[in-house]
Structure 1
Amino acid sequence: MRSGLRARGEIGDIIGMSHETSPVTPEQIAALPPEFRALLQAVIDHYERRIAALETEIATLKKTPRNSSLPPSTEHPHAKFPPQKTKSGKKRGGQPGHPKHERALIPTDQCQTVITVKPEACRCCGEPLTGDDPQPWRHQVWDVPEIKPLVTEYQRHRLTCPCCATSTCGELPPGVPQGQAGPRLVALAALLMGCFKQSKRRVALFLEQVLNQPCSPGWVVKLQNLATSALAPSYDELSKQLPAETVLGIDESPTKEANRKSWLWTFVAGSYTVFALRTTRAATVLQDLLTDAFDGVVNCDRAKMYYSVGRPQWCWAHLKRALT
């Protein structure tokens, strides 16, 4: 029995080796007794099935932003997610007999135009028709109007004083911008870049071809700077409020600022969120924004730079992934 166990152990050692380092040649295996060769083949089959199962398990445990602490930016934006459920075998789209879904009609008085359509004659015998239908079949067509920019011209007259011959030019009314972009246009350009993640060229293309607003990528940069200047006071006010918060959720994601590696820091408070783009993920960023006055709870991952601020509370999602 002991010799049999030792033989099984040696077989396991042989199976664990690669073909290049195996000390047993195929000829030597063929020279073994049939019973031993059958046992060897059974062990080989067993470990091949186990290796295949382990390779499948390793593939499913590959680290992604959905099952680890990796930031979402490390995954390709067009990465395909594994299927969450098996296919039903049905064709795509609505299935026969499903309830109809259509856009609800708005009240007639909210329509810009109402056109009455009446038949002139009977579709069967051709007899002329008159009268009104108390409940006509309502058909509404939605469309967008032709988009034209609203251009306001201010004619600033220069008048010469009859006494001293000094020329004086009329001042623009309060609130009128010095440039050629109004506040709504500036806000729209900033929204397209900030919220909808469009490039300067695409924003310029949209403004010019869809909104009929003459534009260039260089002018979009100026609009972005105007929006940044307008939002700076509110941003500074919220940033100064961070040290007074009792609970903050903080995280940082790698990104790029021009050709430099940067990190987008996110500070989530109860009623607002502050984003800060910095070229480092060191604790100096936390010191600059939270200062020594912050003594609240920091909900975060287990990165070392959070040890020095407030009272760290590890994210439960990270702890769950670490335990599983």
Structure 2
Amino acid sequence: MTPIPQPPELPSDLPPQVVAYIRILEATIAELTAQVTGLTTRVAELEARLNQNSTNSSKPPSSDAPHTKPAPPKPSSGKRRGGQPGHPKAERTLLPPDEIRTLKPATCRGCAHPLTGDDSNPAVHQVHEVPVVTPHVTEYRCHRLRCPHCGTTTVAAVPAEAATGYGPRAQAVAALLTGSCRLGKRGTSQLFADLFGLPLSPAMVCKLQHRTAEALKPVAEEALMYTCGQPANVDETSWKQGQKRAWLWVAVTTLVVAFLIRKTRGRSAFEDLRDGSTAVHTTDRYPVYTHLDKHKRQLCWAHLRRDFQAMIDRGGSGTAIGAALLACSDALFENWYRVRDGTLTRSTFRSVYIPALRRQVGEFLRTGAACGCAKTAATCGELLPVEASLWTFARVVGVEPTNNAAEREVRHAVCWRKTSFGTDSERGSRFVERILTVIASCRRQKRNVLAFLIDAVTAHRTGAKAPTLVPAQAQQQNVVNPLFANC
């Protein structure tokens, strides 16, 4: 807004009433000018908030409105759709047959002459079918006998491993359906009835979840302890517990993932997750991570890229800074992808590309911290003290420049939260965090989740040692595929 010029001196011969009226008008104009300035700033903030989407904020793509401008299409590679020449053909896996039917042609398809003999290498066509599953019921008949000596009656006790009324496999399947397949209690109950012919009430599903959580307690605690000693991608997302706000935390290492649910998003929850770990942490810019050693922290460049795009979208004096920083991030990712696919050596990337990028980014951040756009200046000012955390991935082998690993692991939990609306109690939260730990870790280790759950439940019932997710110990365990297990 154009500033109001200083009013001239009023003539001395004006009547006092006119002078007073002019002064009132001047004060009113000044007040209205201040209001317009404040409202203009407020409108700019609201427009920036309204224009937020998955490209310039932390909002997920699923929250984008239909009218949101899509990302620019990638340039065509010139390749046809589908599998490329030399790509391994995807074929159905042949399984050991339970029944073999031999088919021989009776006559020649050319002249109808009768055919005899055998083919040394016949073509194989398999039909895979799921057998009818019926529950295996073990009935314990507990006899009550009277002592002929004293007359006391004694009833035989049910074995401890049979006290729940459902076997380890049934309990593990219920946990798998709710935790991995994200079925609700009623859906799990219905599937048990339709698929297995086994009556299982929603209330019993809850009880089996609690028992599974107890069985997985030592497994999850050991996994959490292991991740504390490893470099990890750390993230948090909102959760609900008992209709109140809670937070789901995750620490992702190469082979083991640990989840925790806490009622706070503060430092105490982070300490529960990482227990004072001094390893490298890859995180976003959430303030709870600012206490970490900047030389052992990697800021997520995917988040930063969205921050740079937001500088451009806000307009004003921060646009040029945002465009320059965005170009630097594009150059970083372009060359990092070459490092990952082997077309650029890591040593060349560190010695040739990183120094120039680091110098340019530092200059742009210092310029942005002094620019006229308050939000752009604030973002750049926050990044300058932790500038070293932008480049940890270039120094430490195995550290990625993004926190995408944690984002991917959290995705399953977010989808589950949207359909289940969180948990109702501490007991439910313990099941969620422990089953998520097992699912994510087993997937990373290419282990069968159901087989692991069966082993954990069986060990808990019999008092045996629980299976482990820790890689060095897990390699010594024989995990049986339940599709072929006779249990």
| TM-score, length of structure 2 as denominator length | 0.44
Amino acid of the structure 2 residue aligned with 1:303: Y
Q: Distance in 1 between matches of 2:106 and 2:113?
A: 9
Change (3 A) 1:140 1:235: closer
Q: Distance in 2 between matches of 1:138 and 1:294?
A: 55
**Structure 2: gaps (5+ residues):** 1-47, 309-324, 327-487
Alpha-carbon RMSD = 4.1
Change (3 A) 1:138 1:248: closer
What whole-Å deviation, never above 9, does each CA across 1:287-307 have from its counterpart, x for those lacking one?
34445x444433211111122
| Residue 239 of structure 2: aligned partner | 255
1:275 positional shift: 0.8
Change (3 A) 1:169 1:182: same
Q: Which has the higher helix share?
A: 2
| Residue 184 of structure 2: aligned partner | 199
Amino acid of the structure 2 residue aligned with 1:265: W
Is contact 1:296-1:310 (8 Å) kept?
A: no
Q: Does 1:228 align with 2:204?
A: no
Secondary structure at the aligned position of 2:271 is classed as: helix
Secondary structure at the aligned position of 1:254 is classed as: strand
Q: Distance in 2 between matches of 1:180 and 1:248?
A: 40
Q: Distance in 2 between matches of 1:78 and 1:213?
A: 44
Is contact 1:294-1:310 (8 Å) kept?
A: no
**1:30-109 mapped onto 2 (5 Å cutoff):** 62-64=52-54, 67=55, 70=58, 72=60, 75-76=62-63, 84-85=73-74, 103=91, 106=94
Amino acid of the structure 2 residue aligned with 1:75: S
Q: Does 1:267 align with 2:251?
A: yes
| TM-score, length of structure 1 as denominator length | 0.63
| Residue 181 of structure 1: aligned partner | 166
Q: Distance in 2 between matches of 1:78 and 1:152?
A: 55
Q: Distance in 2 between matches of 1:143 and 1:279?
A: 47
**1:15-34 mapped onto 2 (5 Å cutoff):** none
Change (3 A) 1:154 1:213: same
What whole-Å deviation, never above 9, does each CA across 1:98-132 have from its counterpart, x for those lacking one?
x996745737xx21011233456677888776554
Is contact 2:192-2:200 (8 Å) kept?
A: yes
Q: Of 94, 113, 124, which aligns to 1:138?
A: 124
Is contact 1:255-1:261 (8 Å) kept?
A: yes
RCO comparison, higher one (Cα < 8 Å, 6+): 2
Change (3 A) 1:233 1:136: closer
Is contact 1:299-1:314 (8 Å) kept?
A: yes
Q: Of 88, 92, 98, which aligns to 1:112?
A: 98
What whole-Å deviation, never above 9, does each CA across 1:244-286 have from its counterpart, x for those lacking one?
5253322111233342222211122454221111222122212
| Residue 214 of structure 1: aligned partner | 199
Amino acid of the structure 1 residue aligned with 2:58: L
Is contact 1:105-1:140 (8 Å) kept?
A: no
**Structure 1: gaps (5+ residues):** 1-57
- The count of corresponding residues between Structure 1 and Structure 2 is 255
Q: Of 134, 139, 145, which aligns to 1:148?
A: 134
Is contact 2:282-2:300 (8 Å) kept?
A: no
Is contact 2:250-2:258 (8 Å) kept?
A: yes
Amino acid of the structure 2 residue aligned with 1:163: H
Larger Rg: 1
Change (3 A) 1:124 1:262: same
Is contact 1:298-1:310 (8 Å) kept?
A: no
Change (3 A) 1:78 1:173: farther
Q: Distance in 2 between matches of 1:227 and 1:100?
A: 40
What whole-Å deviation, never above 9, does each CA across 1:4-49 have from its counterpart, x for those lacking one?
xxxxxxxxxxxxxxxxxxxxxxxxxxxxxxxxxxxxxxxxxxxxxx
Is contact 2:260-2:273 (8 Å) kept?
A: no
Secondary structure at the aligned position of 1:210 is classed as: helix
